[in-house]
Structure 1
Amino acid sequence: MQAATEWLQTMFGGGDVDWKQVLLIGMSPVFLIAFMIERRVMANRGERRQFEWRDIIANLGLGASYQVFELIAHALFTAVAVTWFYEHRLFDMPINGWTILPIFIAVEFCYYWFHRTSHRVRWFWSAHVVHHSSERMNFTTAMRQSLLYSITGWWLFFMPLVLLGVPPAVVFFLYAVDLSYQYFVHTESVGKLPAWYEYIFDTPSNHRVHHGRNEEYIDKNYGGVLIIFDRWFGTYAEEQAKVDYGITRQVRSYNVLTLNFHEFIDMWRDVMQPGSLTQRIKHLWAPPDWTRVEQVEITKDEKVVA
């Protein structure tokens, strides 16, 4: 235990290293090897519908652009911002073999609320929509990430832990562990796992539900590593009907720029439409499917005139 404590303190003792991206970049070869194995397994089963090369290339491009921009964003402002929070911490949280698991569970709890908010608040959805815009499911779907995440403020959801005294490097590294696990739940190659595991952890079955646009699956199963918070907070759904992947307003493009910015641009276009300031600004924090009453009235008037 003493050796583990010393290692943790040495590794995360300070500095501006983005440990989240360090781990994710380091895991990239493992991710790609896992994808090749998955594709071979599914090909042997005669199931190739989830592997479309334009989609896979788009996923890889989105993953690469995300990695690069996260490093740039960390260097420009994220590191400064989280350091400010840490300088105003309330306590000094010890990092050792006894505290690392509770801290990881706390990171998962923060992730649950970040993920849930990313589906229910359009400002955050404008980045997260990228991850859901594929109509296929394979390991590379996990790489389908937005370069807008740092702009919209994913890191804000983890600042309560920093204020409680957990070093930002520890929070970011454990978040990367969480994200690394999630890579392996983006697949159709694995069916349902033992009931006890399905009850506690996020699994391929649980996560397929999350990517469904079936009415009963929308906004369900937000957990990263654990699924228990979904069970506790009423957002759990079991995989039963065949999953229809994608988003309700599907963007049919393989262009990395289009995929990154289409919802962000649409959101601001809605904000700029004529109307009261309150209603216009509400497009930023209302759910993605929210429509202004005054917009509906304008549409009805246009139909009458026509």
Structure 2
Amino acid sequence: MSDLAFTLPDPVILAIPAFVGLAALEILVARLRRHPAYELRDTAASLTMGLVNLVQAVLFSGLIWWSLQATHQWRLFDLPFTIWTWVALLFAEDLVYYWFHRLSHEHRIWWAAHVNHHSSQHYNLSTALRQHWTGNLVFTWALWLPLALVGFPPALIVFQKGISLVYQFWIHTEQIRRLPRWFEAVFNTPSHHRVHHATNPRYLDRNYAGIFIIWDKLFGSFAPEDDAEPCRYGIVKNLGSFNPLRIAFHEWVEIGRDLRRAASLKEALGYLFGPPGWQPGGSGVTSDVLRARWQADQAAVKTTAEKTAAE
């Protein structure tokens, strides 16, 4: 193991006091505004999800570290440990996170590991802790290996992943409405991330950013928050349960049921790697279908309004 691994602190561990303090502040502000942000059972479920996620992260840390080190042995460049290397990694790692996050929404096998993070119908700082239990089992961590192949030091990659997680904690709140326009234009913010957690058709599968919202704007997945349409949180078919086991595994159970009734290998692959909601013959209700229906309704309303105005 590189000595560098022992010189870089764990950003998440260092940030724990800030997590607690910010959550307490959010509760206070929400009460003063008479807008209760927390529900005890929901928060308890989120905390349980976070604790088990921490345990599984420790269990997989050896495998992930070994994989990064092994990949780094074949690196294309010897990138020195400098501030400029870290700045380059800041953007490179965030781009990797964007595509990891997008794949986790667009393909059911990875959505099954990620869906629990979206399962709360509340949106507060405890929601940030509602993390996966099964993502490492489906090799989501492998998407970061190319960074080691390029030549970024493995310890710096792990450190930057921690920085990203810490950054994303504070954007899980309704208490901050908008930040300065320049900040909203470049960075992921509470406004942008509320859109990501919303189930409104216009907001579905948008704003995958980690730190920089520029990736969503570059790759066509950005949607601004519209104050005229408040975000509705949760998933398309809400669970109605605070049981952490159901939260963590419900989509895997549904995948198992679909695979048992698959009539062919093609159908089985569709259930695994198609978008959430996919069904044979195009009969499923996916995010794209819901968005298309919403757009058609909006167009119909606009046409009716124009005809009425013309009369």
* TM-score category of the 2 structures, normalised to the smaller one: 0.7 to 0.9
Corresponding letter in the other structure for 1:152: V
By how many angstroms is 1:35 displaced? 0.2
How far does the alpha carbon of each residue in 1:227-251 deviate from its partner, in whole angstroms, 9 at most, with x for none? 0110111111110010000100211
The percentage of counterpart residues that share the same residue type is: 36
State how far apart, in whole Å, the 2-side matches of 1:68 and 1:60 are: 13
Q: Which residue of 1 aligns with 2:54?
A: 67
**25-34 vs 120-129, which deviates more?**
25-34
List structure 1 segments (4+ residues) > 4 angstroms apart after TM superposition: none
Return the match for 1:35 from 23, 32, 55.
Answer: 23
| 2:141 pairs with 1:145 | no
Q: What is the match of residue 252 of structure 1? A: 240
From the superposition, tell whether residues 12 and 239 of structure 1 become closer, same or farther in structure 2 (CA, over 3 Å): farther
Tell me by how many angstroms 1:172 deviates: 1.4
1:45 and 2:36 correspond:
no
Matched, 1:286 2:274: yes
TM-score, length-scaled by structure 2: 0.86
Residues of 2 paired with 1:295 and 1:138: CA distance? 35
Structure 1 residue runs of 5 or longer lacking an equivalent are 1-10, 297-306
Q: Distance in 1 between matches of 2:212 and 2:177?
A: 18
Contact preservation (8 Å) 1:275, 1:294: no
RMSD: 1.9
For the 8 Å contact 2:85–2:152, the answer to whether it is kept is no
* TM superposition score normalised by structure 1: 0.87
Output one character per residue of 1:182-222: Cα deviation in whole Å (capped at 9) or x when no partner: 10000001011111111110000010000000000000001
CA distance, structure 1, for counterparts of residue 49 and residue 261 of structure 2: 30
Please tell me the residue identity of whatever aligns with 1:179. L
Q: CA 1:107–1:29 in 2, change beyond 3 Å: closer, same or farther?
A: same
Measured in 1, the distance between the counterparts of 2:20 and 2:276 equals: 32
Measured after TM superposition, the shift of residue 152 of structure 1 is 1.7
| One-letter amino acid matched to 2:145 | M
Determine whether 1:156 maps to 2:142.
yes
2:177 is aligned, of 191, 196, 203, to: 191
CA distance in 2, matches of 1:121, 1:228: 23
Matched residue type, 1:258? R
- How far apart, CA to CA, are the structure 1 residues paired with 2:27 and 2:216? 30
- Tell me if the contact between 1:62 and 1:144 (Cα under 8 Å) persists in the aligned partners: yes
Paired amino acid for 1:219: D
Q: 1:294 to 1:100 in 2, by over 3 A?
A: closer
- Hey, what's the Cα distance between the residues in 2 that align with 1:232 and 1:294? 29
Secondary structure class of the residue paired with 2:203: coil
- Structure-to-structure mapping, 1:192-231, within 5 angstroms: 192-231=178-217
Q: Which runs of 5+ in 2 are unaligned?
A: 285-311
Moved more, 210-219 or 274-283: 274-283
Partner of 1:262: 250
How many correspondences in the alignment?
A: 281
SS of corresponding position for 1:99: helix
Q: Structure 2 counterpart of 1:73, which letter?
A: F
Which SS does the other structure have where 1:98 is aligned? helix
User: 2:25 & 2:245 partners in 1: Cα distance?
Assistant: 29
Partners of 2:38 and 2:122 within 8 A in 1: yes
- Shift of residue 122, structure 1, vs aligned partner: 0.8
2:158 counterpart SS class: helix
